[in-house]
């Protein structure tokens, strides 16, 4: 019997071609954990309006950031998996995606077939939210395989210190007027229904800030990005916040994205291209992004230690 760890990230189209992007978006946006609207109402909108208009546009964005080895999210997640595997000798560490490939259920079943019992499942999202975690939970539970799920790690001291160190390193490179913590947004309806995501994001900003001695507290801002659709999502929206900072005379801005541990479309295209362009067009001067962890060995060791501590706690409770 071997010990097993399944790392899970969101997923990516198989290629940046419009047909593959459309297939990926159809799977992603059909998950009621992501879009809570009744399928009878949502599916005609999704298939009749959103997919025909959004797929080709998203495909152009994917083409702009696609790597020779494939999707940035997949490539960086695979490299992170390799680092975690190196930090957990004797474990079977694998990677799956909530949408697209590798499939969660197939990967877990293969792990069990290879001798792994009661694997640990670790979503690569520091903060818990229904829109990222529930799809994972549903797919894992559907296998019937006994497992341990790590729900979040935003509150881990080591994680906060590692993120603060990356921010501090970037902050020391230039003069900045503001440091913006930008989280992927979610619909406000989810928060009203009890989703803890907003509280966990705010707690992340507060927790990391205590390890940023060089950054004045009045320079730290929390914002949300990647809004989708007409319904209200968590605010302030990053793009609006960037323009408001310029209006306040804060033209040199450092942006950190704590809800993304690996570079993806949101960091490489939405932030580094679209939000950068909007910021510059509004009169901003310097726009820098704190690099994601990607395959950072220290971050990989943190994840490995988190898994070992979790397994030990489960064993003690048994």
pLDDT in tens, 74-106: 999 999 999 999 999 999 999 999 999 999 999
**What's the CATH code of the domain at 201?**
3.40.50.1400
Higher pLDDT, 313 or 58: 58
Is 175 in the same domain as 194? yes
Query: Would you say residue 267 has pLDDT above 90?
Result: yes
pLDDT tens digits for range 28-47: 999 999 998 899 999 999 99
Is 140 in the same domain as 161? no
Angstrom distance (rounded) from CA 17 to CA 174? 38
Is 302 in the same domain as 215? no
Is 215 in the same domain as 119? no
Local confidence band at 228 (pLDDT 50, 70, 90 cut-offs)? confident
Which residues are documented as binding site for Fe(2+)?
184, 266
Place of tokens 């590692």: 162
Is 194 in the same domain as 112? no
Local confidence band at 310 (pLDDT 50, 70, 90 cut-offs)? very high
Q: How many domains does the chain have?
A: 2
* Domain coverage including residue 280: 157-289
Helix (H, G, I), strand (E, B) or coil at 130: helix
Is 137 in the same domain as 243? no
Is 142 in the same domain as 186? no
Contact (Cβ atoms closer than 8 angstroms) between residue 91 and residue 2: yes
Query: Would you say residue 50 has pLDDT above 80?
Result: yes
Q: Which of 42-51, 132-141, 228-237 has the lowest mean pLDDT?
A: 228-237
Place of tokens 């097993």: 4
pLDDT score recorded for residue 1: 64
Helix (H, G, I), strand (E, B) or coil at 106: helix
As a whole number, mean pLDDT of residues 132-144 equals 97
Residue 205, C-beta contacts closer than 8 angstroms, at least 6 positions apart: 181, 220, 222, 258
Is 226 in the same domain as 268? yes
Is 40 in the same domain as 119? yes
- Of 278, 270, 267, 175, the closest CA to residue 219 belongs to 175
Is 9 in the same domain as 147? yes
Angstrom distance (rounded) from CA 135 to CA 42? 18
Which residues are documented as binding site?
184, 266
pLDDT score recorded for residue 318: 64
Is 274 in the same domain as 165? yes
pLDDT tens digits for range 165-208: 999 999 999 999 999 999 999 999 999 999 999 999 999 999 99
DSSP E strands in 142-190: the ranges are 148-149, 178-184
Is 79 in the same domain as 136? yes
Local confidence band at 317 (pLDDT 50, 70, 90 cut-offs)? confident
Contact (Cβ atoms closer than 8 angstroms) between residue 290 and residue 166: yes
Instruction: Quickly count: other Cβ atoms within 10 Å of residue 167's Cβ.
Output: 23
As a whole number, mean pLDDT of residues 136-145 equals 98
As a whole number, mean pLDDT of residues 110-125 equals 96
């Amino acid at each position: 019997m071997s010990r097993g760890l399944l790392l899970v990230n969101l997923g990516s189209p198989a290629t940046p071609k419009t047909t593959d992007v459309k297939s990926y978006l159809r799977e992603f946006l059909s998950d009621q954990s992501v879009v809570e609207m009744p399928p009878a109402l949502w599916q005609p909108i999704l298939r009749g309006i959103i997919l025909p208009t959004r797929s080709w546009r998203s495909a152009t964005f994917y083409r702009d950031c696609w790597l020779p080895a494939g999707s940035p999210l997949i490539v960086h997640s695979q490299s992170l998996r390799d680092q975690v595997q190196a930090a957990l000798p004797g474990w079977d560490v694998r990677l799956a995606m909530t949408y697209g490939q590798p499939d969660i259920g197939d990967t877990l079943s293969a792990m069990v077939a290879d001798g792994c019992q009661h694997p640990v499942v670790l979503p690569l999202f520091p903060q818990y939210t229904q829109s990222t975690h529930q799809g994972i939970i549903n797919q894992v539970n559907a296998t019937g395989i006994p497992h341990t799920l790590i729900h979040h790690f935003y509150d881990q001291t080591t994680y906060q210190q590692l993120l603060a160190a990356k921010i501090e390193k970037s902050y020391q490179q230039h003069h900045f007027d503001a440091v913006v913590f930008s989280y992927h947004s979610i619909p406000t309806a989810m928060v009203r229904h009890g989703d803890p995501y907003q509280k966990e994001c705010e707690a992340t900003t507060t927790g990391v800030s205590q390890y940023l001695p060089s950054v004045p507290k009045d320079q730290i801002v929390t914002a949300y990005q990647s809004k989708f659709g007409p319904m209200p999502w968590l605010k302030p929206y990053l793009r609006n916040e960037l323009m408001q900072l310029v209006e306040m005379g804060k033209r040199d801005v450092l942006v950190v994205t704590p809800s993304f541990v690996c570079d993806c479309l949101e960091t490489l295209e939405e932030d580094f291209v679209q939000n950068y362009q909007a910021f510059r067009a509004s009169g901003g001067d310097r726009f820098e992004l704190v690099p994601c962890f990607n395959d950072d060995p220290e971050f990989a060791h943190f994840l490995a230690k988190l898994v070992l501590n979790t397994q030990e706690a489960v064993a003690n409770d048994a």
